[in-house]
Amino acid sequence: MHVAFFSDQHPSTLGGLQVSLGLQRDFLEMAGHTVTVCSPDSKRRPTPGHARASDVLLGSRQVGEHSFQLASPLTDRTMDAGFSRRPPVDVVHIQADVWGAWNGYRFARRHGLPVVHTMHTNIELGLPAAVPLPGVMFRLIYAAQQRYMQTPVRDMAGYLRAFADAADAVIVPSAHFAETLSRYGIGRELQVIPTGVDDRKIDSVRSESR
């Protein structure tokens, strides 16, 4: 099976989502599957083991540790060209909250593919901690969500419901976050799958002499 991951950030940059994505990729590949990540490019790549030369990277703007990239017809063509050099995609797995999600849903629509969306981040709390002028940023992403997901969005509840309504399956990393999404009016079934750890690394640490 060929799984296309869509991420807001390059898989080799530092972050909890990137660690989760890299762990999933490693174990899917060990099981014989193919994984291609589509993400913004980045000038900072401290953990190259999480990326592959065949990943589909998109031009972006770098602001601090974060890359920003908006969906567009040019982006669509870049994605389609990149994936055309890979085996046919079987499923789109969106592991993103903003531009990576918009790109993933657009790609899935164009190619008639099923979508799994893992909602990793409570962006209502995370965004103000990551960017200046969060109120302005929220208004911008609500407007972009309306454009890309083609549904009215006026608040965070509507923003997240637009994604949940468009996905074939939704995964969340904790029961606590599932409860938050339920309060937002997301009534569909949510699969709670906590981010795992690599048992081999735990065993390696345990085996070290003290």
Whether 141 and 133 have beta carbons less than 8 Å apart is answered as: no
Q: Cα–Cα distance between 148 and 101 in angstroms, integer?
A: 10
Question: How far from 122 is each of 46, 96, 98, 172, 184, CA to CA, in Å?
Answer: 25, 11, 12, 10, 12
Residue 48 has what pLDDT? Answer: 59
Please give the structure tokens belonging to residue 58.
Answer: 């998109």
Residue 46 has what pLDDT? Answer: 52
122-131: list long-range contacts, CB under 8 Å, 24+ apart.
122/177, 122/180, 123/97, 123/98, 123/156, 124/156, 130/66, 131/63, 131/66
Give the CA count within 13 Å in the CB-facing half-sphere of 119. 29
Whether 104 and 96 have beta carbons less than 8 Å apart is answered as: yes
Instruction: Name the nearest CA neighbour of 162 among 176, 134, 143, 136.
Output: 143
Residue 175 has what pLDDT? Answer: 95
Instruction: Name the nearest CA neighbour of 145 among 133, 135, 154, 132.
Output: 154
Residues in the chain: 210
User: Domain-by-domain residue ranges, the chain?
Assistant: 2-128+163-207
**Residue with tokens 């065949």, as numbered in its chain:** 54
Instruction: Name the nearest CA neighbour of 65 among 79, 38, 46.
Output: 46
Strand pairing category for 61-63 and 66-68: antiparallel
Provide CATH code, domain 2-128+163-207: 3.40.50.2000
Residue 208 has what pLDDT? Answer: 74
Backbone phi and psi for residue 5, each to the nearest 5 degrees, phi listed first: -90, 135
pLDDT tens, N- to C-terminus, the chain (210 residues): 999 999 998 888 777 788 888 899 999 999 999 999 999 887 766 555 678 888 999 887 776 666 777 788 899 999 999 999 999 999 999 999 999 999 999 999 999 999 999 998 888 887 887 777 888 889 999 999 999 998 999 999 999 999 999 999 999 999 999 999 999 999 889 999 998 888 888 888 887 766
Residue 53 has what pLDDT? Answer: 85
Strand pairing category for 169-172 and 115-118: parallel
Verdict on whether the full-model pTM lies above 0.75: yes
Query: From start to end of 14-161, where are the E strands?
Result: 34-40, 56-58, 61-63, 66-68, 91-95, 115-118
Residues 59, 46, 130, 164, Cα dihedral to 10°: 70
Q: Cα–Cα distance between 91 and 87 in angstroms, integer?
A: 12
